[in-house]
Structure 1
Amino acid sequence: MKEYNQYSSFEGSQHRAGHSRRDILKYGSAAALGAIMANGAISNAHAQGKSVTLSGHAPDALDQGNNTGEFDSNEPLNILIVNYDGGTLLDFAGPSEIFHRIPNTNVRYASLNGGNVILEFGVVYGKTERLADIEKTDLILVPGGSNLSVPMQPEYLKQIRRLADGAKYVTSVCNGSLVLAATGILKGKRSACHWAFINKLSEYGAIPVPDRFVEDDNGRFMSGGGVTAGIDFALRVAAKLRGLQAAEVAQLAIEYDPAPPFHSGHPREARPEIIAMVDKQLPGASKGLARIPGVR
């Protein structure tokens, strides 16, 4: 998995800062908490030769003090999430949780024929709208799934492409980017995907990028990596469209403060024997070329 080793672990840098959330329980004031976090951030940034702001945070692309976003706070934001049989619940449940918590935002769910869809593992998700009944949307999100044979059908692709062409933002999570790519709209565009399927994107003319969040055309195209990356993706979308403050409020409200118990969430960190076991389940996964039902 040498192609993934160049991407560093953010979680690892946080552990090296020297303070865990559990340590903070020993301190009794917000001032002490702020001092601990600021000192940790400053020390870590200095160790890496980075500049820091007075707040103690290393500069970030999103941390520019701009809380306005691309959509005015009084302007409704319409988001459409595409559903289908075989889809993965968390691919859209994570983003949905964020989107519902940002101001003046309307989230809709649709499938080809409307009604219930049977997701991965037999989970029934109900009362979706018909794609054909939706005239347009500001943002379309195509989540991934363990079986893409349904959304890869010509009529599904036709409806997704129609709505994507009229949308201001075209997005995906996990291997949902393969569905978008199959419509042709990602030709020549950079896109994320689940690590096991990332290199399938090039077969549709898209440019595979093994990152957790990827954007192209000044953010018109935004995509998240595999499954859990959908939450990171949605927070970045929220910050871009509604401003940093709205995204941070949503993040705090759902207590999105991940601390994975094992460092095996990506091939760049997982032990070789774990990667080998996944390769047996998904042949070609370690090369980003795993086959999935419905993908030509």
Structure 2
Amino acid sequence: MALSVAFVLFPNLTQLDLTAPAQVLSRIPDATVRYVAKTEEPVPTDCGFSILPTETFANAAKCDLLCVPGGPGVAAALKDASTVEFVDRLSRHARYVASVCTGAFLIGATGALDGKHATTHWAYRHLLPRVGAKPTPGRVVRDRNLFTGGGVTAGLDFALTIAAEVAGEDVARLVGTAIEYAPEPPFGSCDYEAQPLPVRSTLDSRYAKSVGRIADALDALQLR
């Protein structure tokens, strides 16, 4: 089955939130992947390089799967009416809607997560009720046609889940094996809860400002 995928681009997105699932989804037979931004200008990522859009919000066609990445730029994107309106417009007609990391808040800003189970990066999960969602731990959380992924690398899990959904588990296994997705961290699990207290304390302090920025952006939306 042909699958049309559209990724939403905004300044200072986390590139792996986008490029990891794009690598998987682009390998599904008969899939097409598009990258949609406010303008045709290159969109800067959080890693110092930019991504060139293939379409703009104004001329983007409908899609089967809308995928929204997260990143440092989410707070600003939440305050940009054209970005939120675009996510709302395409998500209403998409067969599937998905987010990685804090991209969940851009979906939530449209009201699409109201009463739904959802996840995001561990540092921001407690903010999900602000967009009406029910925080649910997990690498990938599905509620009907909505797929939300945890932080950054969870985009691979979400994309392989979608691959199995639309093309069958055999195809998903082929893609996963082709990209050699067999994580073995050299120092054990990188799950937040598995880390010693000093590591968690350092992480909490590093994310505090970013969490505050998203909380402030959600306040401005007056969703909750």
What TM-score results when the alignment is normalised by the length of structure 1?
A: 0.70
- Asked if residue 125 in structure 1 is aligned to residue 51 in structure 2, the reply is yes
- Asked if residue 185 in structure 1 is aligned to residue 112 in structure 2, the reply is yes
**Which of 177, 180, 205 is equivalent to 2:132?**
205
**Which of 150, 158, 174 is equivalent to 1:233?**
158
In 2: Cα distance, 1:191 partner to 1:268 partner: 19
Partner residue of 2:169? Answer: 244
**Which of 202, 207, 221 is equivalent to 1:277?**
202
Alpha-carbon shift at residue 151 of structure 1 (Å): 2.2
Alpha-carbon shift at residue 201 of structure 1 (Å): 1.0
AA of the residue aligned to 1:102: I
1:156-215 alpha-carbon deviations (Å, 9 max, x no partner):
100110000010101000110011111111111111100000111101111111211100
- The structure that has the greater radius of gyration is 1
In 1: Cα distance, 2:182 partner to 2:170 partner: 16
What TM-score results when the alignment is normalised by the length of structure 2?
A: 0.91
SS state at 2:192 partner:
coil
- Within a 5 Å distance, the mapping from 1:1-296 to structure 2 comes to 75-152=1-78, 153-217=80-144, 220-263=145-188, 265-283=190-208, 290-293=211-214, 295-296=217-218
In 2: Cα distance, 1:253 partner to 1:227 partner: 20
The sequence identity of aligned pairs, in percent, is: 35
- Check the 8 A contact 1:264/1:271 in 2, yes or no: no
Gaps of at least 5 residues in structure 2 are 219-224
In 2: Cα distance, 1:202 partner to 1:262 partner: 33
- Check the 8 A contact 2:15/2:47 in 1, yes or no: no
Alpha-carbon shift at residue 115 of structure 1 (Å): 2.8
SS state at 1:149 partner:
helix
1:234-284 alpha-carbon deviations (Å, 9 max, x no partner):
101100111001100101111111101123522210111000011111229
Alpha-carbon shift at residue 223 of structure 1 (Å): 1.3
AA of the residue aligned to 1:99: L
- How many positions carry a matched residue from both structures? 216
- Check the 8 A contact 2:9/2:53 in 1, yes or no: no
In 2: Cα distance, 1:147 partner to 1:134 partner: 21
1:70-123 alpha-carbon deviations (Å, 9 max, x no partner):
xxxxx3110101111010000011100101111110111111123310111322
In 1: Cα distance, 2:54 partner to 2:197 partner: 41
In 2: Cα distance, 1:173 partner to 1:192 partner: 9
Moved over 6 A (4+): none
In 1: Cα distance, 2:76 partner to 2:198 partner: 33
In 1: Cα distance, 2:213 partner to 2:73 partner: 6
Alpha-carbon shift at residue 129 of structure 1 (Å): 1.3
- Check the 8 A contact 1:263/1:270 in 2, yes or no: no
1:121-171 alpha-carbon deviations (Å, 9 max, x no partner):
322111331022113111100000122134211111001100000101010
In 1: Cα distance, 2:172 partner to 2:213 partner: 33
Structure 1 pair 139/146, CA: closer, same or farther in 2 (3 Å)? same
In 2: Cα distance, 1:88 partner to 1:147 partner: 8
